């Protein structure tokens, strides 16, 4: 995201978590106070099922959680795996992380990860990349569950044309990744790896433009994705402000707003977050939160003091999502 027309006032809260608390766009709080997700802890079902909303997210994870340690199995990274995309009309590639102890006689849930604008399928999953090391350390420490992580290439068009694309053209090829993942990539992964299928076993996450595409993918394909995470998403998911058609950055993917989940396809966990020093996507993230709240769609949305729009924030966000995905359903 390079520019944005919507001015946002300074905010002062440290970390605030929201769920079903409507507030005006641009205001990080409702009724001037922070809201904690604790309602499920008082129910009789709390001992039976994990509630991802009952715990506040952390943004103080130390650097050593993202560093390589002796004696830890970080699993297997397969790079540049090729599949044919009918959506693109060409071959595409992805990187995939198979967890430590991966056994084809077992099966594993899958998280699909979108990169940011101008990125690639090697940004998050690669040898010694921050997400590869974080996940390995968390799995070793018992902080997450065994899962497969797929780093998606959002570019969805003829490969030979990629270098000639303008930023505007790239944005719209990224939109096509929403269908490519559901219709082309997921079937390939399910046919070639030991994968658990069903929305209770499928997650999508992303940052910046990838955060926008994560929301688009999760909500277009609510029957396929049970866990959705969006880190400082760009402003092109739904219409924001009166001048949203003035720039390709803000033309909405969903022109009529978020599709409304039903009883059988409500996300098990929906997580959005943005840093107080983000130069582009504070207002958009909080607007998405407010619209979802108005629809009655439960979400955990954090406004975090001090973080910018970069990997130092993304890795904190992935830590939180990995503590909560595939624990329910």
pLDDT at 48: 56
Going by pLDDT thresholds of 50, 70 and 90, the confidence category of residue 304 is very high
pLDDT at 178: 98
Identify whether 3 is part of a domain. no
pLDDT at 133: 98
Going by pLDDT thresholds of 50, 70 and 90, the confidence category of residue 241 is confident
pTM for this entry = 0.88
Backbone angles phi, psi at 196, to 5 degrees: -80, 135
Q: Model confidence over 153-207: pLDDT tens digits? A: 999 999 999 999 999 999 999 999 999 999 999 999 999 999 999 999 999 999 9
In this model, does residue 19 exceed pLDDT 90? Answer: no
Higher per-residue confidence, 328 vs 205: 205
Identify whether 36 is part of a domain. no
SS3 of the chain: the string is: CCCCCCCCCCCCCCEEEECCCCCCCCCCCECCECECCCHHHHCHHHHCCCCHHHCCCCCCCCHHHHCCCCCCCCCEEEEEEEEEECCCCEEEEEEEEECCCCCCCCCECEEEEECCCCCCCCCCCCCCCHHHHHHHHHHHCCCCCCCEEEEECCCCCCHHHHHHCCHHHHHHHHHCHHHHHHHHHHHHHHHHCCECCCHHHEEEEEECHHHHHHHHHHHHCCCCCCEEEEECCCCCCCCCCCCHHHCCCCCCCCCCCCCCCCCCCCCCEEEEEEECCCCCCHHHHHHHHHHHHHHCCCCEEEEECCCCCCHHHHHHHHHHHHCCCCCCC
Identify whether 159 is part of a domain. yes
pLDDT at 199: 98
Say how many residues make up the chain.
329
Identify whether 189 is part of a domain. yes
Mean of the per-residue pLDDT values for the chain?
Answer: 88
In this model, does residue 2 exceed pLDDT 50? Answer: no
Report the domain count for the chain: 1
User: What range defines the domain where residue 314 resides?
Assistant: 63-268+306-322
Identify whether 16 is part of a domain. no
Identify whether 292 is part of a domain. no
Percent of residues, the chain, with pLDDT higher than 90: 82
In this model, does residue 35 exceed pLDDT 90? Answer: no
Identify whether 226 is part of a domain. yes
pLDDT at 46: 36
In this model, does residue 329 exceed pLDDT 70? Answer: no
In this model, does residue 131 exceed pLDDT 60? Answer: yes
| CATH number of residue 216's parent domain | 3.40.50.1820
Identify whether 11 is part of a domain. no
Going by pLDDT thresholds of 50, 70 and 90, the confidence category of residue 242 is confident
């Amino acid at each position: 995201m390079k520019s944005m027309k919507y001015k946002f006032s300074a905010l002062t809260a440290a970390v605030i978590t929201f769920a079903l608390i409507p507030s005006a766009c641009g205001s990080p709080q409702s009724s001037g106070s922070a809201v904690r997700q604790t309602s499920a802890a008082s129910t009789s079902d709390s001992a039976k099922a994990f509630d991802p909303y009952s715990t506040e997210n952390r943004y103080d994870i130390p650097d050593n959680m993202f560093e390589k340690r002796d004696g830890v199995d970080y699993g297997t990274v397969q790079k540049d795996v090729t599949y044919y995309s009918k959506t693109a009309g060409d071959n595409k590639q992805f990187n995939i992380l198979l967890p430590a102890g991966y056994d084809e006689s077992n099966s594993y849930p899958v998280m699909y990860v979108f990169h940011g604008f101008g990125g690639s399928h090697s940004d998050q999953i690669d040898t010694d990349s921050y997400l590869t090391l974080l996940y390995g350390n968390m799995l070793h420490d018992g902080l997450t569950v065994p899962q497969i992580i797929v780093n998606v290439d959002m570019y969805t068009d003829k490969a030979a044309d990629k270098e000639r694309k303008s930023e505007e053209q790239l944005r719209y090829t990224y939109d096509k990744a929403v269908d490519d993942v559901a219709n082309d990539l997921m079937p390939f992964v399910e046919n070639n790896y030991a994968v658990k299928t069903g929305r209770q076993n499928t997650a999508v996450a992303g940052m910046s433009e990838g955060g926008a595409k994560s929301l688009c993918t999760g909500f277009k394909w609510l029957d396929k994705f049970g866990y959705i995470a969006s880190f400082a998403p760009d402003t092109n998911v739904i219409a924001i402000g009166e001048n949203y058609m003035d720039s390709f950055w803000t033309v909405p993917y969903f022109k009529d707003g978020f599709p409304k989940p039903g009883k059988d396809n409500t996300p098990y966990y929906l997580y959005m977050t943005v840093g107080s020093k983000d130069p582009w996507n504070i207002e958009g993230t909080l607007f998405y939160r407010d619209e979802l709240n108005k629809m009655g769609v439960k979400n955990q949305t954090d406004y975090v003091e001090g973080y910018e729009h970069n990997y130092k924030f993304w890795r904190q966000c992935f830590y939180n999502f990995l503590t909560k995905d595939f624990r329910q359903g």
